[in-house]
Amino acid sequence: MQLRQLAVAFIFNKKNELLFLQKKTTSPFLPGMLVPIGGHLEEGEISDPYRACLRELEEETGLTDEHIQGLSLKYMVFRNKSNREIRTQYVFFGVLMHDQPLVESEEGSLSWIPIKQIESKSVSATTLEIIRHASTHQDDHVWVGTMRSIKRKPAITWALLEDWE
């Protein structure tokens, strides 16, 4: 079984809009869909998903840690993809400190989407579940989610990540 690790960022602006990347229709992964900024961890980042998240942010948007306030891990989401691949997605949340010009990459085009419009957009089930959970759990905790299917509809079961000490 293959293991894949990803780091993504949900970046808000002062208008409560989220930054999304519109993938090219020729993309091999989620073609044409709106996705949070992010991607796969590279070899030297396996033990540091935060660093991977910052790298992806800069590559895909031109934003650096100096532009983003409070970038922190909020979710870890696990998915067993057809018993061939286990995906771990590290999900970070942060706020753009002030208007900053964005630099688009070869991956697609960037846009700010009002939070209330996201459910009507072409986003993945994972993205929807994370946004729904985050809207009702505005805390500093880290949550762990496992993906599953309920009556053939995707869902995530959430648990608070905490230590017993």
DSSP label at residue 55:
H
62's tokens = 């031109």
The CATH number for 64's domain is: 3.90.79.10
Across the range 62-74, mean pLDDT stands at 94
Closest CA to 51 of 97, 60, 88, 42: 42
Residue 96 has pLDDT above 70, yes or no: yes
Q: Give the containing element (helix H, strand E) for 135.
A: helix 125-136
> pLDDT, tens digit, for every residue of 115-138?
999 988 888 999 999 999 999 998
- pLDDT value of position 82: 80
At residue 52, the pLDDT reads: 97
Residue 142, judged by CB atoms within 10 A of its CB (0-12, 13-18, 19+), counts as middle
pLDDT of residue 72: 96
81: β partners: 85
- 75: containing domain: 2-161
CA 157 – CA 5 distance, rounded (Å): 19
Q: What's the rounded mean pLDDT across residues 79-99?
A: 91
Residues 19 and 111: their CA atoms lie apart, in Å, by 6
| Number of helical H runs and strand E runs in the chain | 2, 9
Alpha-carbon gap, residue 22 to 118, rounded angstroms: 13
Reported confidence tier of residue 31, pLDDT bands at 50, 70, 90 = low
* Average pLDDT of the chain, as a whole number: 91
- Could you tell me which residue, 95 or 149, shows the higher pLDDT? 95
CA separation for the pair 41, 90 (Å, rounded): 10
Task: Give pLDDT, residue 28.
Answer: 73
| Total number of domains in the chain | 1
Averaged over 52-67, what is the pLDDT?
Answer: 95
pLDDT computed for residue 152 by the predictor: 81
E strand or H helix at 29, and its extent? none
